[in-house]
Structure 1
Amino acid sequence: MDPIRVLFVCPHNSGRSLMAEAFLQRLGQGRFAARSAGTAPTTVAPLVREVMREANFEFRDHGTADIRDLLREKPPYHYVITTSGPDELRDMPPLPGQTVRLNWPFPDPERVTGSPEERLAAARAIRDDIRTQVIRFLHDLA
Structure 2
Amino acid sequence: MERKNVAFFSERNVCRSIIAEAYLRRLGRPYFNAHSFGIRPDRVHYLVREVLESRGFNLNYFFSKYYEVIENQKFDIIVLMHPSLEEKLPEIPYPYEKLVWEFEDPTARQLDRETMRREIEALCDAVESRVKAFVDQYRTQPVE
TM interval, shorter chain, is: 0.7 to 0.9
> What does residue 18 of structure 1 align with?
18
Q: 2:120 aligns with which of 113, 120, 123?
A: 123
Structure 2 residue runs of 5 or longer lacking an equivalent are none
Gapped regions of structure 1 (runs ≥ 5): none
Q: Residues of 1 paired with 2:99 and 2:135: CA distance?
A: 14
Pair 131,100 (structure 1): closer, same or farther in 2 beyond 3 Å: same
- Shift in Å, 1:109: 2.6
Structure 2 residue 135 is matched with structure 1 residue 138 = yes
TM-score normalised over the length of structure 2: 0.86
Deviations 1:59-113 (A, max 9, x none): 256321111332232xx21100011x23245332123442000111211031345
Change (3 A) 1:89 1:59: farther
Cα RMSD, aligned residues only: 1.8
State the aligned residue count: 139
1:103-139 deviations in whole A, cap 9, x for unaligned?
1121103134544222211110011101000001011
Paired AA for residue 121 in structure 1: R
Indicate conservation of the 8 Å contact 1:80/1:101, yes or no. yes
**Structure 2 letter corresponding to 1:24:** L
Structure 2 distance, partners of 1:116, 1:22, is 22
Other structure's SS at 1:90 match:
helix
Correspondence 1:108 to 2:92? no
Distance in 1, Cα, partners of 2:29 & 2:84 = 33
Q: How does 1:66-85 map to 2 (within 5 A)?
A: 66-73=66-73, 76-83=74-81, 85=82
**1:93 match:** 90
